[in-house]
């Protein structure tokens, strides 16, 4: 059985291998303490299985109807539900993309086809991220819109979409099977609370609710839900954080592009192609990157760090080079 290999967990050193957003959503400790204080007397009761208040805030933020919203315990759980829902179909997934797509197909014993990212929109029953992770490939919006219809499903993973701006929520309708999956882990700097959101037509959302309630009705705890509500309400801080991450990204990209084949990513990471000794050199220095092998070549994903940590990377880089 295939399993997903998470970024190496470390107790010391510089951890740049798991795409956690370096900018905190809210540094105000009282913000968190007030939530704990307000809801600690509810810890003995089950959370709201429908997440109504959080759904209402999502409805308001994303300007979409309540019956088009499904909340899950992280977008990975949402992906798991979608693969269960469509397990009798032949999934088409990009050849080089987020590894969980292939793992879910394997776990559910599903037939799948791996397609070059630039061609996947020409097939039926597809899933792909926009932009593709980790390669930052895009599909023209016009091509996607021309292929949205009722006869096939299109799942767009928008984990990183907030870093580049193009979104597809407005095109969800009962006349098509467009499905959008989002997360609060990346642009919203809230990976620890595990909140994912699926947007689709009412029929698909109802089916997802049935799947969820067939094994666990309480996938979101109250504290995570309340934190998510406050995070989504704090839109000014969210925009400022996107600007900060983009600044750090440009700074890092301008350094590495002179040294390696470096892909500019609309995200919170860089993707570079170089030799394996680069990876092991930095690992010995307790600086951890994410390693990928594709067509017998090595690629490395580096989470965008704050400037003070980037200066550490630069210092060690000059020793390596």
pLDDT one-digit tens code per residue, 71-109: 999 999 999 999 999 999 999 999 999 999 999 999 999
- C-alpha span between 190 and 227 (Å, rounded): 9
CA-wise closest residue to 209 among 299, 81, 105, 100: 81
pLDDT bracket for residue 213 (50, 70, 90) = very high
Split at pLDDT 50, 70, 90, the class of 7 is low
pLDDT at 58 over 90: yes
Q: DSSP letter at 304?
A: P
Band of the pLDDT at 59, cuts 50, 70, 90? very high
Containing 292, the helix (H) or strand (E) segment is strand 290-294
- 78 compared with 3, residue with greater pLDDT: 78
User: How would you write 274-307 as a 3-class SS string?
Assistant: CCHHHHHHHHHCCEECEEEEECCEEEEEEECCCH
3-state helix vs strand vs coil in the chain, percent to 5: 45, 15, 40
- At residue 12, the pLDDT reads 75
DSSP secondary structure letter of residue 8: P
In the predicted model, is pLDDT for residue 205 greater than 70? yes
Residue-wise pLDDT for 8-46, tens only, equals 767 778 889 888 888 776 666 567 767 777 777 778 889
- Helix residue ranges per DSSP H, 63-148: 75-85, 100-107, 141-146
Among the ranges given (40-44, 226-230, 243-247), the one the predictor scored with the smallest mean pLDDT: 40-44
Question: What integer pLDDT is reported at residue 124 of this predicted model?
Answer: 92
Q: Is 273 helix (H, G, I), strand (E, B) or coil?
A: strand
> Residue 134, exposed/middle/buried by CB under 10 A (0-12, 13-18, 19+)?
buried
Q: Is the pLDDT of residue 309 over 60?
A: yes
- Both tokens of 249, joined, read 């990204």
Question: Mean pLDDT across the stretch 172-185?
Answer: 92
Domains (ranges, CATH) in the chain?
14-24+236-320 (3.90.1150.10), 42-233 (3.40.640.10)
Give the per-residue pLDDT at 30: 64
**Over residues 239-265, mean pLDDT:** 87
Tell me the average pLDDT of the chain: 89
pLDDT above 90 coverage of the chain, percent: 55
DSSP assignment string, 186-231: STTS-GGG--EEEE--HHHHHHHHHHHHTT-S--S-HHHHHHHHHH
b/e per residue 269-307 (b: at least 16 CB within 10 A) = bbbbebeeebbebbbebebbbbbbeeeeebbbbbbbbee
């Amino acid at each position: 059985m295939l399993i997903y290999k998470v970024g190496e967990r470390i107790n010391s050193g510089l951890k740049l291998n798991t795409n956690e957003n370096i900018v905190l959503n809210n540094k105000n400790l009282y913000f968190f303490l007030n939530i704990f204080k307000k809801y600690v007397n509810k810890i003995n009761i089950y959370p709201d299985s429908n997440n109504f208040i959080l759904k209402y805030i999502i409805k308001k933020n994303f300007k979409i109807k309540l019956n088009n919203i499904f909340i899950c315990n992280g977008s990975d759980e949402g992906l798991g539900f979608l693969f269960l829902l469509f397990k009798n179909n032949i999934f088409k997934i990009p050849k080089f993309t987020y590894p969980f797509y292939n793992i879910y197909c394997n776990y559910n014993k599903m037939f799948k086809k791996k397609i070059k990212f630039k061609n996947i929109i020409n097939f039926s029953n597809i899933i792909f991220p926009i932009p593709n992770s980790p390669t930052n490939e895009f599909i023209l919006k016009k091509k996607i819109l021309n292929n949205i219809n009722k006869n096939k499903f299109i799942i767009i993973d928008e984990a990183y979409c907030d870093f580049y701006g193009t979104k597809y929520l407005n095109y969800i309708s009962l006349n098509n099977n467009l499905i959008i999956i989002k997360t609060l882990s990346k642009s919203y700097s809230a990976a620890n609370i595990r909140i994912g959101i699926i947007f689709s037509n009412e029929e698909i959302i109802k089916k997802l609710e049935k799947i969820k309630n067939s094994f666990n009705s309480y996938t979101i705890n109250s504290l995570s839900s309340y934190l998510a509500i406050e995070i989504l309400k704090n839109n000014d801080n969210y925009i400022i954080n996107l600007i900060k991450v983009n600044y750090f990204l440009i700074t890092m990209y301008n350094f590495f592009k002179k040294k390696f084949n470096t892909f500019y990513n609309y995200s919170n990471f860089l993707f570079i192609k170089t030799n394996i000794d680069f990876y092991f050199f930095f690992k010995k220095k307790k600086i951890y990157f994410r390693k990928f092998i594709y067509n017998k070549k090595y690629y490395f994903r580096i989470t965008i760090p704050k400037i003070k940590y980037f200066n550490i990377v630069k210092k060690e880089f000059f020793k390596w080079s």
